[in-house]
Amino acid sequence: MNAALLLHTRIAYSEHSFAELALWRLPRRLPSSAHPYKYRLAYVVRAVCVIRYDNEAGKGDHVHLEGQESSYAFGSPKRLISDFQDQIERWNRENPDT
């Protein structure tokens, strides 16, 4: 399966936090997804992944937030990145001492 890498970047938010985003377009959808994208977006603070959006095979679209996993309604790559950025902003507001 030849996937096309659409995005792979690392964004530093502070000395102790960064986001890493990876997004591919697949030639066909994964069995557990309704779209042809594979993604992994993570926000790491002090070496702990506090937010992660991904769609690993067999689990479908979901988000991990501080150890809790819940389903995620994927709409588009643009919406995914926007939701991820919104979640980072919310997390930073709620955790100002980190």
* Strand ranges of the sheet holding 4-14, from the earlier edge strand across to the other edge: 4-14, 17-25, 37-45, 48-54, 62-65, 68-71
Which DSSP symbol is given to 3? P
The amino acid that residue 58 corresponds to is G
Residue 80 · residue 39 · CB < 8 Å: yes
- The closest of 79, 33, 85 to 56, measured between CA atoms, is 33
Q: What is the pLDDT of residues 27-79, one digit of tens each?
A: 998 888 889 999 999 999 999 999 999 998 678 999 999 789 999 999 999 99
pLDDT at 1: 59
Q: Where are the domains of the chain?
A: 4-94
